[in-house]
């Protein structure tokens, strides 16, 4: 089963410490060597187009008012929900250890996949 990991934090968090970036790179190398990482990339500020009560608005990033934004994603092929949870736990742990004081939210979202063949 496939899981997308989104690492989210405050939009004004600034660049992560070098030690954290190196640790995350090591983690990515390991996931790649384990054959479970299918895709990964960072996400830029971009723009948001929102429909609220019938009104369309555009917001160009960075999204200063947002509570948290995703800075990147990884796509995994794992064998269970628990394996996905473990990957997420490790990512949070690296932040706790190497970026003290910074809040972070790691989302692990299962990909639903295409529908079954038409009956």
Q: Which of 77, 103, 109, 110 binds other proteins (CB under 8 A)?
A: 77
Is residue 119 within 8 Å of 8, Cβ to Cβ? no
In DSSP terms, 47 is beta-bridged to: 60
Angle of CA points 59, 73, 29, to nearest 5° = 150
Binding flag, residue 28, other proteins (CB under 8 A): no
Cα(19)–Cα(21) distance, integer angstroms: 5
* Least Cβ distance, residue 38 to other proteins (angstroms): 6
Nearest CB to other proteins, comparing residues 59 and 98? 98
Is residue 28 within 8 Å of 37, Cβ to Cβ? yes
Q: Which of 89, 103, 109, 110 binds other proteins (CB under 8 A)?
A: 89
Residues at the site binding other proteins, with contacts judged by CB under 8 A: 23, 26-27, 29-30, 32-36, 38-39, 75, 77, 79-80, 82-83, 85-87, 89, 93, 97, 114, 116-119
């Amino acid at each position: 089963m496939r899981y997308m990991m989104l690492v989210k934090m405050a939009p004004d968090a600034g660049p992560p410490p070098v030690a954290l970036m190196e640790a995350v790179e090591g983690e990515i190398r390991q996931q790649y060597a384990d054959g479970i990482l299918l895709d990964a990339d960072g996400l830029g500020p971009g723009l948001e187009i929102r429909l609220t009560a019938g009104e369309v608005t555009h917001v160009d990033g960075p999204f200063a008012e947002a509570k948290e934004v995703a800075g990147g994603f990884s796509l995994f092929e794992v064998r269970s929900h628990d394996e996905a949870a473990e990957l997420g736990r490790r990512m949070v742990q690296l932040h706790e250890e190497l970026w003290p004081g910074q809040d972070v939210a790691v989302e692990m979202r299962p990909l639903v996949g295409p529908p079954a063949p038409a009956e």
